[in-house]
């Protein structure tokens, strides 16, 4: 099983964000954990991060051709990027939405996700371990 992990805007600066909310890791450390978990679960992953919405959309298009499932943390784009929503819908692949913090208990604007009707599963507020749950969900679906 091949899985793309697509991280969005500002996650390249993950280590600078509030460790209580975001887990205190750098993006590189998070990616290392994801690769380790994937190996343990017997799947292959490709981790990507961008601050360019257009590139994120292009990666969704690419994922449709080369993956069996997609894990996304679009970050702030979650709340308003209909382009990302449409690109994920077009993949035809199972999508898991992940947020390190519990967006349901934060500011009102963070509680809305444009991905609601195209995602298969959602994980919030579990820090880095949310990515493991997302991987497990996709592996167990196959």
Q: Active-site positions?
A: 22, 99
Distance of CA 113 to the CA centre of its chain: 13
CA distances, 52 to each of 8, 58, 70, 121, 127 (Å) = 8, 10, 18, 24, 23
- Gap between the Cα atoms of 139 and 70, Å rounded: 11
CA distances, 106 to each of 103, 127, 139 (Å) = 5, 14, 30
Residue labelled with tokens 């975001």: 22
Can you read off the two tokens belonging to residue 31? Answer: 């990616």
Alpha-helical runs (H) found in 42-81: 53-66
């Amino acid at each position: 099983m091949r899985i793309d992990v697509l991280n969005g805007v500002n996650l390249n600066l993950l280590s600078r964000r509030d460790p209580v909310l975001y887990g205190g890791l750098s993006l590189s450390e998070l990616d290392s954990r994801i690769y380790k978990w994937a190996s343990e679960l017997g799947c292959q992953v490709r981790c990507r991060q961008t601050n360019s919405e257009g590139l994120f959309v292009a990666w969704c298009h690419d994922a449709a051709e080369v993956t069996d499932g997609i894990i996304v943390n679009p970050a702030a784009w979650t709340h308003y990027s209909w382009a990302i929503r449409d690109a994920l819908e077009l993949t035809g692949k199972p999508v898991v939405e992940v947020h390190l913090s519990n967006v349901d208990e934060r500011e009102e604007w963070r509680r809305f996700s444009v991905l609601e009707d195209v995602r298969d599963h959602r994980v919030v507020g579990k820090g880095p371990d949310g990515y493991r749950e997302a991987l497990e969900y996709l592996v167990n679906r196959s």
